[in-house]
């Protein structure tokens, strides 16, 4: 259950997030969410899959996954989602992606 004060928020920042918390931010209760910050998160590729699978990307303007554990697998998951192209800003600095994963993301979005 998401606390009522969160339901009206457009920005959600959960730094040092555990992977099970992704379900909270993907809740349909947070229908006004436009900016999602999950910095320093251990969610990694499974978190990318959960974010894509939740449908939240269609509502987001900004997705910030800086300083995390996203690998080339997570980059591929994100890149394969058409909604990723609609983001105004995608932040993936300091993750575990190789040059190949970075190039794959750059080919999809130029932010």
Helix %, strand %, coil % of the chain (to 5): 45, 10, 40
Instruction: Report the predicted TM-score, pTM, of the whole model to 2 decimal places.
Output: 0.80
More confident position, 100 or 16: 100
Contact 108, 84 (CB under 8 A): yes
Measured CA to CA, the distance from residue 31 to residue 4 in angstroms comes to 12
Where helices occur in the chain by DSSP H, the ranges are 22-25, 44-54, 72-79, 99-108
pLDDT tens string 44-91: 898 899 899 988 899 899 999 999 999 999 999 999 999 999 999 999
Average pLDDT, the chain: 82
* Whole-angstrom distance, CA of residue 14 vs CA of residue 97: 21
Looking at per-residue pLDDT, the higher value among 19 and 99 belongs to 99
Under DSSP, the state recorded for 40 is T
């Amino acid at each position: 259950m998401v606390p009522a004060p969160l339901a009206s928020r457009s920005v959600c920042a959960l730094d040092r997030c555990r992977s099970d918390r992704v379900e909270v931010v993907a809740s349909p209760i947070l229908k006004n969410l436009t900016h999602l910050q999950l910095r320093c998160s251990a969610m990694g590729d499974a978190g990318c899959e959960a974010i894509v699978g939740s449908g939240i990307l269609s509502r987001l303007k900004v997705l910030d996954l800086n300083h995390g554990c996203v690998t080339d697998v997570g980059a591929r998951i994100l890149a394969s989602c058409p909604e990723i192209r609609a983001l105004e800003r995608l932040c993936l600095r300091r993750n575990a992606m190789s040059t190949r994963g970075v190039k794959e993301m750059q080919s999809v979005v130029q932010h």
